Structure 1
Amino acid sequence: MLKSAPAALAAALLVSTACMAAAASPDVTAIVADPARPEADRALDASRHPAELLALLDLKEGQTVADIWPGDYWDRLFADAVGPTGKVYAAHLTEADAAEKQVTPPPGSMPIPEHPNVTSVSTTANTFSLPSKADVIWFRQNYHDLYDKFMGPSDVPAFNKAVYEALKPGGRFVIIDHTGKPGSSVEAMEKLHRIDPAVVKQDLAAAGFRLVAESDTLRNPDDALDLMVFNPAIRGKTDQFVYVFERP
């Protein structure tokens, strides 16, 4: 049975309204300022700049985010940003968990009780995969570990291609890491836990990504780039780059 013109228009408006609601942008300032957030998380905000970085990600309600080598601090924020209809995958690399002598949570488990839209994923670096395609994949301060003995090392091109395939077309791969000196060797990466930003750009270009945004939010020009990042003189104050790559 054909709908009347008014009925068809009303149905179209309902569909349009639903789509707009699904694509709504969260108020990141309100998310960060929420007094219900754990006090330990709030104490880290000054150094981590969550409002600025969430704004850079431009997450929408209903989207899917994967956090590689996950941490509850960011996963709580992502969970609030994508809302109850969105998903956050806490993506554990089994090699990293083994190296840190940590037990990988069972796949599909919910590691943050107050955020049931966060679920654990178990995968490997070289065959990285997710239960469903992601809008954003986030990898903070550990990309350099793909190169050193801590992770094997991994097959970096295979990892990046796997991340590419795990994203939706137009999806973004966000990499944050400690800045290393230009031309830094693998030995320097392992010793200092830093990486030359040019290496990251080259790696991701080779995998088919486009660099679409970067942020100076975590830059520190006073960091001489010669201290190990856990050195008390620089810990928490390292120069860090923030790159947003896109799968075309």
Structure 2
Amino acid sequence: MKVSPLRRGAFRASIIILGSVLASGAQSLGTPVLGGMALAAESSGRGQVALQKPDAGLLASPARPDTDRARDALRKPLDLLALVPLPKGAAVADLMPGSGYFTRLLSLDIGASGHVFAVIPAEMAARHPQLSQTAQAIATNPAFSNVSVVVTPIVDFHVSQPLDLVWTSQNYHDVYGGMGPETALRMDQAIFLALKPGGYYVVIDHVALTGTGIVAPTTLHRIDPALITKQVETAGFRLVSSSPVLRNPTDDHTLPVFDKTIRGHTDQVTLIFQKPSAKGDGN
């Protein structure tokens, strides 16, 4: 992503690479590593993102359904959307959009000059046709005229233009556990190709205990963050930073995410990856 267009009067966020990526396994991501609302570098000095929230009026848009508003307090979308530079006119993919919660927010945030691709894996669309139907309903709503739906095999992730951002929330474990680690890696590689140099890949997911491997994704719908990092870095990305926004230290990571005692309150990791720029410096 080039720096010059990333202005909305001022930078929403700036990425400063302070050092090399933390070696795999150097510290567990299964417990909170950061405090407060500012996204800071982990203790290794890996990277830092200065947060500036989008306009709070975004959440009040009359185009958003009441069901989305009811989830805002838990999902903290303004904090999350501030984690990467997201200019008006950006090209964004919401991968596995589910109910379209983030599809609608991303659409409103980037404006009519931007575009949001709601990307649904063909494998999931075949089993759950309502996923495509939900996304199509958003795309046909005049309030979200900058949204289009793409159904494609997960290992052939692609859209019609280079992307500034690929966003996926609470989904990586489904690919890793349901389709296998190799499929998840091939997905990451395809996403790498679909992004512009300097583009971002944001992965949010429910945290599993360190070392739980493929068991947690298939039984608890959680994933060890180290597995995500290993896969995505293997595909060529740099882990820029991770955010504490959705961390919950009271979650012991042993319950399925649908258990009524933890549902909606799971400890979630937010990982911000970047495709190295054309200069090859990761910025």
Query: 2 CA distance for matches of 1:50 and 1:65?
Result: 16
Alignment match, 2:167: 138
Q: Residues 11-30 of structure 1 correspond to what in structure 2 (within 5 A)? A: 23-24=7-8, 27-30=54-57
Specify every segment of 5 or more residues in structure 2 that has no aligned partner in the other structure, as ranges: 13-53, 277-283
Deviations 1:138-188 (A, max 9, x none): 011010111223x46762221111000010000000000000000113122
Alignment match, 2:49: none
Size of the aligned set, in residue pairs, is 228
Q: CA deviation at 1:210?
A: 0.6
- What secondary structure, in the 3-state scheme, does the structure 2 residue paired with 1:148 have? helix
Deviations 1:211-243 (A, max 9, x none): 112210100000010000001011000000001
- What secondary structure, in the 3-state scheme, does the structure 2 residue paired with 1:224 have? coil
Q: Residues 81-100 of structure 1 correspond to what in structure 2 (within 5 A)? A: 81-100=109-128
1:188, 1:194 within 8 Å by CA — same for their partners in 2?
Answer: yes
Matched-pair identity in %: 41
Residue 57 (structure 1) aligned with residue 88 (structure 2):
no
2:91, 2:163 within 8 Å by CA — same for their partners in 1?
Answer: yes
Alignment match, 2:149: 120
- What secondary structure, in the 3-state scheme, does the structure 2 residue paired with 1:57 have? coil
Alignment match, 2:204: 176
Moved more, 31-40 or 238-247: 31-40
TM-score normalised by the chain length of structure 1: 0.84
Query: 1 CA distance for matches of 2:195 and 2:250?
Result: 36
Alignment match, 1:232: 260
Q: Residues 3-82 of structure 1 correspond to what in structure 2 (within 5 A)? A: 23-24=7-8, 27-70=54-97, 71-82=99-110
One-letter amino acid matched to 2:130: Q
Query: 2 CA distance for matches of 1:166 and 1:108?
Result: 22
Residue 213 (structure 1) aligned with residue 213 (structure 2):
no
2:247, 2:269 within 8 Å by CA — same for their partners in 1?
Answer: yes
Describe the shift of the 1:103–1:78 C-alpha distance in structure 2 as closer, same or farther (beyond 3 A): closer
Query: 1 CA distance for matches of 2:263 and 2:175?
Result: 21
Query: 2 CA distance for matches of 1:54 and 1:108?
Result: 23
Using CA pairs under 8 Å that are at least 6 residues apart, name the structure with larger relative contact order, 1 or 2: 2
- What secondary structure, in the 3-state scheme, does the structure 1 residue paired with 2:218 have? helix
Describe the shift of the 1:164–1:90 C-alpha distance in structure 2 as closer, same or farther (beyond 3 A): same
Query: 2 CA distance for matches of 1:81 and 1:126?
Result: 28
Rg larger in 1 or in 2?
Answer: 1
- What secondary structure, in the 3-state scheme, does the structure 2 residue paired with 1:77 have? helix
Select the structure that is richer in helix: 1
Query: 1 CA distance for matches of 2:57 and 2:189?
Result: 36
Alignment match, 1:13: none
Alignment match, 1:6: none
Deviations 1:115-150 (A, max 9, x none): 10011111111111111111000011010111223x
Deviations 1:20-57 (A, max 9, x none): 6x842684322123355322211110000011011113
Structure 1 stretches of 4+ with a deviation exceeding 4 A read none
